């Protein structure tokens, strides 16, 4: 019985959250902010790049790309470190 | 793998390299960029590993050297970002200068490779980094699962 009420509570909570979430969704087609229109208008003369995505990734949001590169670097470092340690362990 | 697979992979690798370099170098004009082109070349290396076996690839491609290339590309990326620190970190200081400095006309245009400021340099750096990093990781995993030593 207690489990039933717990499930009921969970379902009601989920329904409320989903309905609330759908009510807060932005209207389809409208830009959520003025930022994207600004980047589309100005990337060619400010960053000199026809590819707006490249301008965003490497110029407007360069820190994000730096983080991505760091993630890749950490992944490769981890792979090399772990596998090298395993290889040495087998030798002894 | 059989001789047919090896021959076809050998011939195909050239086209994979050319396409990957094209995607990297034209990153600021056409869709694509450093990450995508580097992933294309790394998948070509994976094709070679599948066709020839990791033991054969190990003779010509060392993970340690790939690791060095990856770290150097990361340093180049941060260095290019730091040069513009007179204004702000990641400032595009080359726009309007003589190197990659042309400014394309606003709106639709056929595209000009000599534009973009620091974006092509960063594309090349990130492309080298992704190519070397993914190849090194995949090669290390293949050598490890094959039971061979990794140096």
**pLDDT beyond 80 at B92:** yes
**pLDDT beyond 50 at A46:** yes
CB contact under 8 A, B74 and A73: yes
What distance in Å separates residue A28's CA from the closest CA in chain B?
A: 25
CB contact under 8 A, B119 and A49: yes
Digit-coded pLDDT (tens) for B2-40? 899 999 999 999 999 999 999 999 988 988 888 999 999
Best CA proximity match to B96, nearest among A58, A46, A55:
A46
Q: Which of B107, B144, B145, B148 to mutate to test the interface with A (most CBs of A within 10 A)?
A: B144
Residue in this structure with the two tokens 């509570």, named with its chain if needed? A9
The residues spanned by each domain of chain A are: 61-92
If one counts the domains in chain B, the total is: 1
B150 part of a folded domain? no
Show the tokens assigned to B36. 């995508």
Predicted pLDDT at A16: 92
- Mean pLDDT, residues B47-76 taken together: 88
B151 part of a folded domain? no
Half-sphere exposure for B86 (CA within 13 Å, toward CB): 5
Predicted pLDDT at A9: 95
Residue A75: which of B28, B71, B137 has the nearest Cβ? B137
Alpha carbons B70 and B146: distance in angstroms, whole number: 24
pTM score, whole prediction: 0.81
Question: What domain range includes position B76?
Answer: 3-145
B73 part of a folded domain? yes
For this complex, say whether ipTM is above 0.90.
Answer: no
By C-alpha distance, the chain A residue nearest B125 is A69
Show the tokens assigned to B27. 């990153």
Digit-coded pLDDT (tens) for A72-92? 999 999 988 888 755 555 554
CB contact under 8 A, A72 and B130: yes
B77 part of a folded domain? yes
Is B142 part of the contact surface with chain A (CB cutoff 8 Å)? no
B57 part of a folded domain? yes
């Amino acid at each position: 019985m207690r489990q039933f009420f717990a499930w009921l509570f969970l379902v009601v909570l989920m329904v409320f959250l989903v309905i609330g979430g759908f009510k807060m969704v932005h209207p389809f087609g409208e830009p959520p902010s003025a930022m994207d229109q600004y980047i589309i208008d100005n990337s060619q003369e400010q960053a000199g790049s026809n590819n707006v995505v490249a301008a965003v990734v490497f110029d407007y949001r360069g820190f994000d790309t730096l983080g991505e590169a760091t993630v890749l670097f950490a992944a490769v470092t981890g792979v090399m470190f772990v596998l090298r340690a395993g290889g040495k362990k087998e030798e002894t | 793998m059989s001789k047919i697979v090896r021959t076809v992979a050998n011939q195909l690798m050239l086209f994979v390299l050319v396409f990957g370099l094209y995607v990297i170098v034209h990153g600021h004009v056409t869709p694509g960029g450093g990450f995508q082109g580097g992933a294309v070349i790394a998948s070509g290396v994976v094709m070679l590993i599948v066709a020839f076996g990791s033991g054969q690839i190990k003779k010509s491609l060392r993970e340690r050297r790939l690791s060095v290339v990856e770290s150097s590309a990361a340093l180049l990326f941060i260095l290019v970002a730091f040069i513009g620190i007179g204004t702000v970190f990641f400032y595009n200081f080359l726009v309007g200068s003589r190197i990659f400095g042309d400014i394309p006309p606003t709106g639709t245009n056929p595209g000009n490779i000599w534009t973009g400021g620091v974006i092509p340099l960063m594309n090349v750096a990130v492309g080298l980094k992704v190519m070397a990093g993914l190849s090194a990781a995949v090669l290390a995993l293949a050598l490890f699962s094959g039971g061979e030593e990794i140096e």
